[in-house]
Amino acid sequence: MKRSLLVAMCLFLLQFVQAQQRTADIGLWGGLGTYSGDMTEVETNSSLGPAAGVFLRYNFNPRYSVRGSFMLERVKALGEFESSPWEFGKTVSDVSAMFEFNFFKYIIGSSKHTITTYLIGGLGMSFYPYDFDADSLNAVGAYVDPEGKDENLAALNIPFGFGFKFNIGERWSVGLETQFRKYFDDRLDNLNDPRAAVNPANLELTKYNSTLHNNDWTYHLGVHVCYRFYQGGKKCPAYDNIN
């Protein structure tokens, strides 16, 4: 009887501690980004654009979290396509949901678990314009879609990355983070499957890119400041010792 009661008390304490670990944060993110795609010889210094965003993060425990984020970024590049000059620039809005895994137990406000590296990954949607310019495409020898037109696009992407974060107070933390985005659309650089070609013998179109297989990526490096606005209930005095 005593053993059963002890086991029940331990299980209750474990559930209590886990409930206390469920917290929520809000953060601001800012940094620089660049692009990779169908262009070649991209000038890195001229192709860096600012990026800024905000995110909400719900922490299930000191290792696992989910976050929803909104980012506004300037994506641009100056370089070449097939040895001919090509450039583009546009503003991209991105919303995403990502899972976050901490390699070490991490609790904002803890005096014991104050620092960790982490991985992120999930699914996102990007919104940006596609500027169709047949004359410019012809000038660089790129394929010109006969049905091409200016469009405002909503493109799926897969965001993932890694980072490093640490506490700077009872409710505050800062971090350094790298994000990568693989786009499921080939028009970010205004080059839509530019190496596609029509066979003059049978007028069949040979495509090289598709929704799943294309070259458009963005890369970002930034810092974030995070505030824990929900502590998960009143903090137990022995919280750090238990965890």
Q: What is the pLDDT of residue 4?
A: 54
pLDDT at 17 over 60: no
Higher-pLDDT residue of 55 and 202 is 55
Q: CB-based contacts of 36: which residues, under 8 Å, 6+ apart?
A: 42, 215, 216, 217, 218, 219
- Read off the CATH number of the domain in which 44 is found: 2.40.160.20
Domains in the chain: how many in total? 1
**Separation between Cα atoms, residue 231 and residue 228, nearest integer Å:** 7
Domain of 140? 2-242
pLDDT at 12 over 60: no
Among 116-120, 126-130, 192-196, whose mean pLDDT is lowest?
192-196
pLDDT in tens, 205-240: 888 888 888 989 999 999 999 999 998 764 544 445
Residue pair 222/180 in contact (Cβ under 8 Å)? The answer is no
The neighbouring-strand residues paired with 97 are 68, 123
CA distances to 99, 141, 199, 207 from 202, in Å: 49, 21, 6, 15
Q: What is the pLDDT of residue 3?
A: 55
**Separation between Cα atoms, residue 7 and residue 13, nearest integer Å:** 10
Q: What is the pLDDT of residue 114?
A: 94
pTM here? Answer: 0.84
Give the helix, strand, coil percentages of the chain, each rounded to 5: 15, 50, 35
